[in-house]
Structure 1
Amino acid sequence: MLKRVDYDTTQHAGYARGRALLPVSRANWLRAFALQAGERPVRTILDIGSGTGRFTPLLAEGFAAPVIGVEPSRRMREVAEAESAHPSVTYVKGSADDLPLADGVADLALMFLVWHHVPDKPAALAEIGRVLAPGARLLMATTLSDRIKDLLIYDYFPRTREIDREVFPSLEETTALFAEAGFELASLTEVHHRSADSLADYVERQQMRALSVYEHLSDEEFEAGLAAMQADAAAETVPRPVESECDLLAFTRL
C-alpha cells in the first residue's frame, strides 16, 4: 500500500513552478474543456482539487463564469491565493467528499489529476452528484491503468510506471463506479500536453520534485534518475519538446 501524499508537507513548495502550464498546453486544455462541457449554459464552475490554481483562472477566463476552487491543502490554497488570484475565482477549503456548496449549484466541474488521490470514491461521487445540477458535466483528466501513456519520466525513473499502474484505476473500473453513482460517460478524448519546450527546461521542472509520484521514490532513486536526465539534457543540441497525450473523460450527471 502506497502512502498518501501530503501536499501541506512537501508538494506545495515547488508545485506552481514545477507544474506551470505552457501557453500551448493552456490553449489545448481550454479547447478540450469547451468541447466536452456539454450543451447546458455554464454559469458556475467547480475546480475540485484546485491545488495552486493551475486551471482555476483559466476556466474563469475561458467560460466567462465564476469558478470555485476547492482544495483541502491549506498551503496549496495559500499559493493559489497569492499566485493565481482572479476576480472571478474563489478558493475554499474542502475536498471531493466534502464540498462546502449548496445542492445543484454547479453547471460544470473539473478534476485534473485528482481522482487517484480521493480515498473514498463512492462518497466523493455522491457529494459531486449533489452539487452538480442535473445534466451538468464533470470533466476528469486522469491516467488510466489500462491506457498508460509512454511518459518520459518512465525512461529515467522506471518504477514510476509500476506505481502509476498501482495508483490509477482502469477505464472499466472508473466508468462502472461512476455509473453506479448516476453518471454517464459522455466522451473519452486525448489532449496533447506539452510539459516543457526542451529537455533542459524539463530537468529544471523535475528538480522541483513536483510530481506526486516522486513521493513514492527513495531519494536515491530520484537523484539517480535526475542525474541521467541532466546528462542527456547537457548533450541535447536541438531542443526537444517533452510532450504526451492525456486522457480526458466527460461524465454527465443524470
Structure 2
Amino acid sequence: MRTIDYDSEQHQDYARGRALTQQQLQVWMSAFEAALPERRPLAGLDVGSGTGRFTPALAQAFGPVIGVEPSVRMREVAQTQSQHPDVRYLPGTAEEIPVPSDSADYALMGLSWHHVQDKPQAARELARVVRTGGRLLLRTNFSDHHPRPWWLEYFPRGYEADASIFQPLHEVIATFTSAGWRVASFGTVTEPSSGTRGAMLERLHLRTLSFFAQLTPDELEAGFHRLEKAVAEDPGAPAPVFAEPLLTLERS
C-alpha cells in the first residue's frame, strides 16, 4: 500500500472524516469491555491513536491511557479536541513504544496495524509493554475476513483494492503467536448506522481512508461520480451497516 504521511495530508480532516457517533462509540466500548479484565482501573495504550477517536473514551471507561502516535499533526489535533485528565499523547510507533516494560494492562490498535512497517518487531514490542495476561485489542481488517462497506461497490476495484491493504487472518495470528501472544477471541462488531447516505458521502469526500490512496485519479473520479449518482436518489436514507472484525490476543 502507498505510505501515507499524516503530517502533510489527512490530519486536517481526519477527525471529521472518521468521526464516530456516541452510539457507535458505545458499541465499541462494550465490545472492548467484554474482552478486558473486570478490575478497574486498567492502564491502557492506544497505539496509532491518530486524532484520538478512541483515546478519551478508553480513559473514561477503563482508566488512564497513553496515546502513541508518530504524526505530530495528528497528536496536535487529538490534544486540541480532548483535554481528558487521564489521557497523554506521546510520539512513537508500534515498533518503538515509549513506555516501560510490563506497564500496560491492555493495548488497542484501532485500524492502525496495516500502517506498521515491521510487523514482527511490533508484535514483540507490544509483548514487551503489555503485562502477562494483558490483552491486545486488534481492530483491523483482514484480506480474507473483509467487511463490505456499502459504498465500496461504486469504485473500480473497490473491494479488491481495499482488501489488498490488509493481511489474511492466519498471517496476523502467526506473527503474534510467534511473539508470545495467544488468541483470546475473534469476532465481529456491527456499528449502528453512521447517519444518512448523504452525510456519509460528505465524509468520504474528505478521503481520510487509506483505501483512497490506493486508487488512480481516474478511478477516484469514476467512483465518486457513480457514488454521488446513487446517493442522489435518496440522500436521506440511513447509511447501511456492516460487520467489522475484532481480534483479541492475550499476552502469554
What TM-score comes out, normalization by structure 1 length? Answer: 0.94
Residue identity in the other structure for 2:8: T
Contact residue 24 and residue 194 of structure 2 kept, 8 A: no
Greater share of residues in helix: 1
Return the alpha-carbon distance in structure 2 between the equivalents of residues 237 and 202 of structure 1. Answer: 9
User: Does 2:1 align with 1:5?
Assistant: no
How far, CA to CA, are the matches of 2:207 and 2:235 in structure 1?
A: 25
**Structure 1 match to 2:19:** 20
Separation (CA, whole Å) in 1 of partners of 2:151 and 2:6:
21
User: For residue 71 of structure 2, what is the aligned residue in structure 1?
Assistant: 73
* Contact kept in structure 2, 1:8 and 1:74, CA below 8 Å: yes
- The answer for the alignment partner of 1:101 in structure 2 is 99
Alignment partners' CA distance in 1, 2:151 and 2:176: 30
- Give the letter aligned to residue 224 of structure 2: L
1:172 matched to which residue of 2? Answer: 170
Distance 1:162 1:108, change over 3 A: same
C-alpha distance in structure 1 between counterparts of 2:52 and 2:221, whole Å: 28
Q: Which residue of 2 aligns with 1:121?
A: 119
Other structure's SS at 2:3 match = coil
Q: 1:221 aligns with which of 219, 233, 236?
A: 219
Return the offset for 1:41. Answer: 4.9
Deviation larger for 23-32 or 223-232: 223-232
SS at match of 2:223: helix
Q: Who is 1:247 aligned against? A: 245
Aligned to 2:56: 57
| Partner amino acid, structure 1, of 2:34 | L
> Could you list the per-position Cα deviations for residues 12-49 of structure 1 after superposition, in whole angstroms to 9, with x for gaps in the alignment?
12110000001221111000000011356553100000
Alignment RMSD, CA only?
Answer: 1.5
Q: Which structure 1 residue ranges, 5 or more long, are not aligned?
A: none
- 1:234 — aligned with what? 232
Other structure's SS at 1:38 match? coil
Q: Is the 8 A contact 1:42 1:107 kept in 2?
A: no
The separation in 2 between residues aligned to 1:62 and 1:180, in whole angstroms, is 31
TM-score (norm. length: structure 2) = 0.95
Moved over 4 A (4+): 39-42
Mapped contact 1:7–1:73 kept (Cα < 8 A): yes
Q: What amino acid is aligned across from residue 23 of structure 1 in structure 2?
A: Q
Query: Kindly, what percent of the aligned residue pairs are identical?
Result: 43
The one-character-per-residue Cα deviations of 1:118-173 (angstroms, maximum 9, x if unpaired) are: 01011111111111111100001111111112222321123232223322111111
Letter paired with 2:123: L
Q: Secondary structure at the match of 1:52?
A: coil
Cα distance in 1 for residues equivalent to 2:49 and 2:224: 28
Question: How many residues in Structure 1 have an aligned counterpart in Structure 2?
Answer: 252
Could you tell me whether the CA contact under 8 Å between 1:199 and 1:239 is conserved in 2? Answer: yes
Provide the rounded CA distance (Å) in 1 between the counterparts of 2:208 and 2:123: 27
* 1:157 matched to 2:155: yes
Which sections of structure 2, spanning at least 5 residues, go unmatched?
none
Contact 1:110 1:138 in 2 (8 A): yes
